[in-house]
Structure 1
């Protein structure tokens, strides 16, 4: 009982404090070394802001996860592999923040990390519920994971967005596990990603993002940077795919529904127009809302509200009501995208 309280309550609070303190320290470090995100025509901010807050977030997550894994021997190899891959991505991504690496170099690093992670995910069961042959299931899961890493990075474009989404996905997976009556799985077994043993790491993931969010809410004093968005997308992608492999495919689809829709629709539009889709832009739905005059805080708050509804629908799906939950998620996502695409602030012409 005492050990469960420590990992369910005390450890996330400790990670929250560690993330906040580390983020504050990183701001000064980045300012001293002039690691700044300077505004350009694709930016949604007007003045230079330090970029690289993901260093603090990932450090807090790693500290919490390692401490937890040392008490759970069955989880230690899985977490060690995931954290090693995430750390490698963070390092490459920080170099990208500093020197603007080529798209090919970034994609190669992400692909290697995903292939490494597939060594774990391959034992979790079929992600696509047996609808695909085993080898094709693995290939499709790897490609979906790779896309999720990139879309998570693409969607980190305004104050508060990535922090809100990370908290929502992590807490959502915890609640899905509870709704599904998850047992005490400890590894990449049938309940990996949603089992009781994974709930403390998920809570710590949410706590680390919340500690950063305090400094990233509008007006942001710090940006996450690729050093944070890429490895966060990697870890969250693994956990969502693991939930799907555990049978919670509908919940795993519902929780990131807005992110999936915004990034995917925007990508398809740009490809059809013949644009260089790998270049930065301001065409995502949330960026359209900001361009029309909504504040970053307003848009991120709307996303948080939409995510709250998606979490409730994911819990409904986990309880065995997949079809109505998926229909509800489609409506929530369409409503959120529609608001972003058409709504205007009061008083605007």
Structure 2
């Protein structure tokens, strides 16, 4: 019951904090000025994602004390999330060398992995595998990649917020299907909190961005979603696949684009606008249709496969391959990672 009181409060707090952060960014001239590698055309304040960070990290301990979230999950999200957000906040205010950002990302991911207990045994094509230390290493890389790809994919109005909201709602539906008889506090409370906090910020970021999320917010969202993915896998192994499937748009676009740029010999740490979603935004001359398309693909194509996996109707690995295949096709069609003409 306590959660339903906290959700509207989290939404309002995030909305009000974002307004305050916008005023702060304007006073401090924390403005993203459009350039040749930008997907926006109007100078816009940045750093609004700090509102999401503040609301989640303040409310989550309260949920934990009330028995609505595990202590270990609370420590994983707040500790790792605050470190990632601090690195992003510093980078928003002044450039930090990539190697130091990456060091902070690995430290944060290691902290989260410690509290989560590493990577649980996986069911891959019907076979249960306990990968031991190799699995923990893969989980560490997954956490680091997710927080970075979320930053890469936060490039047009509303896309990062919409992805967080629809994937969390999709995951919540999968939880209900995978564990229909579990108690209300078993899983999902943090996901609801994240939805409320992101929605409050999203009112300022969509359909026209009056403030951008910034590295602090996007990195926090990325590592939090990754932590929730691994946490769900400890409760029900098939939920790992369900999460990976609903996150498909971001995972496929970011990974395909990175690999393509690597093959072309580009410095992947340099800013660019060659992601599939950015190419799509240029083709339709707008951000709103692409953000809606991402949400529709997630809900209309990816979520049914994720539900099938949660219900144990289809193998997770098979469903992921089927779900990802047309997304790869979209990346090829949109020439993701290719040099701009």
Return the TM-score normalized by structure 1: 0.87
Shift of 1:63: 2.4
Q: Residues 315 and 269 of structure 1: is their aligned pair in 2 closer, same or farther, counting only changes over 3 Å?
A: same
CA distance in 2, matches of 1:304, 1:68: 28
| Cα deviation digits, residues 63-115 of structure 1 (max 9, x gap) | 22122112128723430342022112111111111111111011000000011
Per the alignment, residue 280 of structure 1 pairs with: 271
Tell me the CA shift for residue 279 of structure 1.
1.1
Q: Which structure 1 segments of 5+ residues have no match?
A: 186-194, 343-349
Q: Partner residue of 2:205?
A: 216
Alpha-carbon offset, residue 133 of structure 1: 3.0
Q: Does 1:315 align with 2:304?
A: no
- Number of aligned residue pairs: 328
Report SS of the residue matched to 2:39. coil
Between the aligned partners of 1:227 and 1:103, the Cα distance in structure 2 is 15
Q: Any idea what SS the aligned residue of 1:46 has?
A: coil
Matched, 1:226 2:199: no
**In structure 1, the residue corresponding to 2:312 is in which secondary structure?**
coil
User: Structure 1 residues 113 and 177, CA, compared in 2 at 3 Å: closer, same or farther?
Assistant: same
Structure 2: gaps spanning 5 or more residues: 337-341
1:224, CA displacement in angstroms? 0.2
Residue 157 of structure 1, aligned match among 150, 155, 158:
155
Name the CA distance, whole Å, in 1 between partners of 2:163 and 2:314.
22
Residue by residue over 1:265-284, the C-alpha shift from the partner in whole angstroms, topping out at 9 and shown as x without a partner, is 10000000100001110000
CA contact under 8 A between 2:276 and 2:331: conserved in structure 1? yes
Cα-Cα RMSD: 2.2
Q: Secondary structure of the equivalent of 1:291?
A: helix
After TM superposition, list the pairs within 5 Å mapping 1:1-349 onto structure 2. Answer: 3=1, 6-7=2-3, 9-72=4-67, 75-122=70-117, 125-127=120-122, 130-131=128-129, 133-181=131-179, 184=182, 196-245=185-234, 246-248=236-238, 249-309=240-300, 310-323=302-315, 325-326=319-320, 328-330=322-324, 333-334=327-328, 337=331, 340=334
Report deviation, 1:175.
1.1
Between the aligned partners of 1:203 and 1:80, the Cα distance in structure 2 is 18
Normalised by the length of structure 2, the TM-score is 0.89
Between stretches 12-21 and 324-333, larger displacement belongs to 324-333
Please give the alpha-carbon distance, in whole angstroms, between the structure 1 residues aligned to 2:182 and 2:10. Answer: 23
Within 2, Cα distance between the matches of 1:53 and 1:74? 26
